[in-house]
């Protein structure tokens, strides 16, 4: 079993030896409660045929635990100093592939090198499955989780620590303050569970907010209901740009170069919406149907 490396005393000693400090720009908050690391692993249910993507290697404590269970771990670290430290910590593991890159090429796209390495590992054996398991830096959690749903290889599951506020937005229901375009996007494609809420003191350095372990399972059945993922994604984002405006007004602005107002009124009448309905009041199933109806307008 891997040694219990990720304690405050161990981390501070290693950082002191290297003459560095955690970098807030890269969201370097290390999960120091070893029981919670185990909880994260248990939720991920890592199997010997799994190829794991970890974004944010840190000191490699979670990486090492995953390498004991998985076929391969592809771990990504943007910070050159942390990459060097983790390389020393993880030198004994032959099934860990370390990448010193930014996991995001842009806000809407993952780094192609990362996806290429994952594909190479999956191609070794048809029985292999792709999973994300990570203590995600807060500042990149949303684009990482969201973009993985549209990449060439969609994960079998995603298990991660993220900001509590983000977790609550993912599972939010209509007519609540947390209900958003992200809620619709994630729920339309996945089954989502908040495994545990984490207080700041289980991390070092302590963040200013609470965190959560989430377990997300992309659903092929849900995905099959959406013929054009790009259109649906853009449609939902446009709907929620002005979430508190009446839906009719939002659609008029959205479709002003495509259809006339009477056509929009006919569409809304077909759904039997009240005149004052807003996008934030509509559930996922209704927005899915509305998206397809708008797409069919041409």
DSSP class per residue in 224-270: HT-S-HHHHHHHHHHHGGGTTSBHHHHHHHHTTTT--HHHHHHHHHH
- The structural domains of the chain, with segments of one domain joined by +, span 8-224, 229-295
Of the given ranges (5-19, 22-36, 138-152, 267-281), which has the lowest mean pLDDT?
A: 5-19
pLDDT band of residue 2 (cuts 50, 70, 90) is very low
pLDDT band of residue 22 (cuts 50, 70, 90) is confident
Q: What is the mean pLDDT of the chain?
A: 94
- Residue range 204-215: mean pLDDT, rounded: 96
Q: Which CATH number fits domain 229-295: 3.40.630.30, 2.60.40.10, 3.30.420.280, 1.10.8.100?
A: 1.10.8.100
Q: Which backbone phi and psi does 192 adopt, to 5 degrees? A: -125, 135
The pLDDT tens digits for 251-287 are 999 999 889 999 999 999 999 999 999 999 999 999 9
Q: Residue 125 pLDDT more than 80?
A: yes
The pLDDT tens digits for 216-242 are 999 999 999 999 999 999 999 999 998
What residues form DSSP beta bridges with 90?
none
- Structure confidence at residue 5 (pLDDT): 63
Give the separation between CA 62 and CA 29, rounded to whole angstroms.
13
Do the beta carbons of residue 87 and residue 96 sit within 8 Å? no
Query: Given the structure tokens 């939902």, which residue do they identify?
Result: 236
Token couple for 130: 């792709």
Q: Is domain 8-224 annotated with CATH 3.30.465.10?
A: no
- Structure confidence at residue 18 (pLDDT): 80
The pLDDT tens digits for 182-203 are 999 999 999 999 999 999 999 9
Strand, coil or helix: 148: coil
Domain 8-224 and domain 229-295, same fold? Reply is no
Contacts of 291 (CB under 8 A, 6+ apart): 226, 231, 232, 235, 236
Higher pLDDT, 298 or 126: 126
Contacts of 250 (CB under 8 A, 6+ apart): 238, 239, 241, 242, 279
pTM listed for this prediction: 0.93
Helix 181-189 / helix 284-295 crossing angle, nearest 10 deg: 90
Q: Residue 23 pLDDT more than 90?
A: no
């Amino acid at each position: 079993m891997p040694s219990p490396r990720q304690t405050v005393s161990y981390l501070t000693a290693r950082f002191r030896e290297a003459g560095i400090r955690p970098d807030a720009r890269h969201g370097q908050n290390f999960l120091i409660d070893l029981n919670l690391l185990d909880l994260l692993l248990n939720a991920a249910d890592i199997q010997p045929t799994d190829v794991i993507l970890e974004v944010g290697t840190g000191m490699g404590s979670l990486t090492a635990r995953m390498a004991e269970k998985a076929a391969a771990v592809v771990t990504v670290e943007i910070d050159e100093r942390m990459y060097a430290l983790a390389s020393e910590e993880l030198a004994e593991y032959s099934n860990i592939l370390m990448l010193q890159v930014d996991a995001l090429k842009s806000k809407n796209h993952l780094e192609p090198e990362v996806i290429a390495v994952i594909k190479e590992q999956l191609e070794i054996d048809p029985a292999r499955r792709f999973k994300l398991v990570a203590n995600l830096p807060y500042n990149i959690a949303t684009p990482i989780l969201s973009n993985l749903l549209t990449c060439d290889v969609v994960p079998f599951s995603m298990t991660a620590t993220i900001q509590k506020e983000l977790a609550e937005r993912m599972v939010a229901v209509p007519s609540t303050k947390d209900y958003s375009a992200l809620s619709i996007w994630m729920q339309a494609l996945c089954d989502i569970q908040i495994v545990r809420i984490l207080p700041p003191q289980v991390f070092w350095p302590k963040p200013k907010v609470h965190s959560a372990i989430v377990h997300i399972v992309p659903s092929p059945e849900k995905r099959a209901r959406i013929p054009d993922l790009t259109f649906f994604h853009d449609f939902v984002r446009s709907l929620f740009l002005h979430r508190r405006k009446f839906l009719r007004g939002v659609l008029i602005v959205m479709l002003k170069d495509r259809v006339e107002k009477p056509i929009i009124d006919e569409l809304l009448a077909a759904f039997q919406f009240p005149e004052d309905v807003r996008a934030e009041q509509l559930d996922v199933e209704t927005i899915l149907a509305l998206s397809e109806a708008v797409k069919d307008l041409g």
